[in-house]
Structure formats: structure tokens, C-alpha cells
Amino acid sequence: MKSISNLFVSSPHGKVGLTTNQVMRMVCYACIPGIAAQTFIFGWGVVVQALLCILIALASEALVLSLREKPVRRTLSDGSAILTGLLIALSIPPLAPWWISVIGVSFAIIIVKQLYGGLGFNLFNPAMAGYVVLLISFPVAMTNWLPVQQVMTYDISFLDCVSSIFTGFTLDGYSVNQLRIAVDGITMATPLDHFKTQIDLGLTASEIIKSPIYGEYGGTGWEWVNLGYLVGGLLLLKQGIIRWHIPLAVIASLFTLSLISYSITPDLSLTPMITLFSGATMFAAFFIATDPISASTTVRGRLIYGAIIGMLIFMIREWGGYPDGVAFAVLLANLTVPLIDYYTRPTVYGHKAKG
């Protein structure tokens, strides 16, 4: 088990001398470019969900700490609960009902994090575990993403978002399903979901990407969201909060496999650039896969771990039943960490290398 004392010394978050609170806070700050892009593209629901999920995360952690007779204020001040709530909020549809946030965040904090002993002892990424529970249990609510604001037929205000999240309807009485009816009465889906559905219907890739939900380099709007998280991730690298091994391995692995697939079956595959700039690719590479607790802690191990995540994302997107697959890829890779770390540990002086 990794302990809190070596959390930032032997982890992908490798800058020594920063407190847990400082690191968590800087990761939250690095999310700002992505949050700004996501809010511009999908509306104020992103901000509402972020505030709601953070509040639930703090309340859930405070409840468990009180029951365990642990110091509440000191633990909450480390910022880990805030970051978990924020990551879940950025993963779910902006107008998902409030109980989605309650269930997902509560599961992540209470079950995945605290029941394993708290920060430093969880085996799985709490945010992704909470997201997977929601995706499996409530697939309809978790796939109700709105079309980008540019093609919406109805302008949604901040108060509309609040009303929709807590009541299911905007102030004018529109439901989320009604809001998803975009230009010409076509129900919009995420680019990855749309592509998988259309391929199953027998269309070719060249025919599918003519849809207005695809941009030049990725899904319309999603390319800017991915660019925002790429900028935030590079800021984390510059500050030394994360190391380059895992993000590079995730992106390189996914890009390479996408390139091979596109080269062999161009009529059935998205281009590598659309693959990288659609869905949650950059968010996963820089903010999810680099979780300091559940990721590998050795240099070679991080490269292997990141490559496994990229490979699993590609496999799930290509052959699985879920269009994105990031959360499943991360959780499956979490299972391999003990084995990866065992076989990639640096050899101790005076001992034989593992053969």
C-alpha cells in the first residue's frame, strides 16, 4: 500500500516539497482552461455540476470521517475530496439530474476512498469508479449530452441549467430530451457515440464525418474541450506536478493504434486526430491516468501503465459497447499496477535483478 507520507515522492505527481493541498489545488487550477471550453461549448450546467459535486464530496467525506472519529477539518483541507468531486462533475452530462451527482460522488468518496482507509490507500481511481457505477446503472441519464451551443435551437441560461438539474425541466418547461433536438429536428449524440452507431448501420467513415457534429480535428466543440485540457496538462508538466511518462504513453499508444487501424480499414475508422481530440482523451491522459495513488510509481512502470490505458481506450472504442471507454480503461489498468511495479522496481544495490 502507498502511504500518504510518500504520496508525492514516488508517484506520478513528483514535485517534492509541495503539500497535498497545494498539489490538489494546482490540479484544480489546471482544469480551468478545459472547464472554460466545456462551459462555452455545453453551457452553464458544467459549472452547476462542479459546484454540486464538490459540495457532495465534502459532505460525504465529512460524514465518513465523523463516523470513523477522524479529524474532519484537517482531512477536508487536503483538497482531495474537492478534486474528486470536480473530476466527476466534468465527466457527467452537464444537465444530468442532481441524484446522479449524489450517487456517483458519494460512492467515490465513501466506498472507493474512505472504506479503503482514505487518501493514499485506495486501489482504484475514485472518480472513475464513481463514474463507472453511474454509467452501468443509469446509461440513459449518463448519455444525455446536449449538442454544442452553436447548433442549439434554445438558449439555456444559468437558471435554466439549475432548474433542469433539480427538476428535470428548464424555466420554460423544456426537458433535457427536448433540448437535445438540434437543427432540423435531429437528435444529437457525442461524436464517438454517433460514429459507433452509424458504423453499425452500415455507413462508411467518410460518410459519417460529414455530419455537423464533426469538426476538422475532432468532434465539433469537443476538439476545443480537449485542447483546453491539453493546455492545463502542459501547465501541470511545467510546474512539475505530474511527470510526462503517463500522458505521453497514453496519447502515443492511442495514436499509434488508431493510425494502424485507419491505415488498414479507413472506411471503418476515425482518423487518429479525431480520435485524440474527441471524447475525454486529453482529460484522461493528464488528469485521470496520473492519479498519484492508483497509478504506477516507477519510471518504466508509468510508461507501461500509460500504454495499457491508451490500448484499452482504443479497444473499447473500437470493439466495446461504450463509445469512449476511458473510465473502464483506467480501472482495468489500476488492477495491473502491483504487477507492473513489482517487475519494474529499480534493483537494490547488492541484490540480483529480477529475471
**pLDDT, tens digit (0-9, with 9 covering 90-100), for 304-330:** 999 999 999 999 988 887 778 899 999
Residue 348 lies in a domain: no
Residue 131 lies in a domain: yes
Same domain, 25 and 138: yes
**Residue 209: C-alpha distances to residues 232, 282, 322 (Å):** 28, 21, 19
Same domain, 146 and 204: no
Task: Summarize pLDDT for 246-299 with one digit per residue, the tens.
Answer: 999 999 999 999 999 999 998 888 889 988 998 899 999 999 999 988 899 899
Same domain, 195 and 141: no
Spatial CB neighbours of 111, under 8 Å, sequence gap ≥ 6: 129
Residue 253 lies in a domain: yes
What is the C-alpha separation between 113 and 164, in angstroms, rounded?
30
Asked if residue 340 lies in contact with residue 304, where contact means CB atoms within 8 angstroms, the answer is yes
- Higher-pLDDT residue of 118 and 58 is 58
Task: Summarize pLDDT for 171-204 with one digit per residue, the tens.
Answer: 888 888 777 765 444 445 678 887 888 888 888 8
Per-residue confidence band for 150, with pLDDT thresholds at 50, 70 and 90 = low
What is the C-alpha separation between 211 and 216, in angstroms, rounded?
11
Same domain, 99 and 62: yes
Is pLDDT at 149 greater than 70 in this prediction? Answer: no
Same domain, 305 and 292: yes
Q: Which of 129, 164, 188 is the last residue of a domain?
A: 188
**Amino acid at the residue 231:** V
Same domain, 46 and 169: yes
Same domain, 198 and 77: no
- Number of domains within the chain: 2
Q: What is the pTM of this model?
A: 0.87
Is pLDDT at 71 greater than 90 in this prediction? Answer: no
Per-residue confidence band for 130, with pLDDT thresholds at 50, 70 and 90 = very high
Cα–Cα nearest to 194, from 338, 337, 312, 323: 323
Give the containing element (helix H, strand E) for 61: helix 45-67
User: So what's the pLDDT on residue 3?
Assistant: 40
Same domain, 75 and 159: yes
Domain span at 174: 19-188
Residue 4 lies in a domain: no
Q: Which of 188, 211, 239 is the last residue of a domain?
A: 188
Per-residue confidence band for 350, with pLDDT thresholds at 50, 70 and 90 = low
Q: Which of 166, 188, 210 is the last residue of a domain?
A: 188
Residue 5 lies in a domain: no
- Higher-pLDDT residue of 219 and 26 is 26
Same domain, 274 and 325: yes
Average confidence (pLDDT) over 4-27: 64
User: So what's the pLDDT on residue 2?
Assistant: 42
Q: What's the chain's Rg over C-alpha atoms?
A: 20
Residue 113 lies in a domain: yes
Task: Summarize pLDDT for 215-261 with one digit per residue, the tens.
Answer: 777 777 889 999 999 999 999 999 999 999 999 999 999 999 999 99
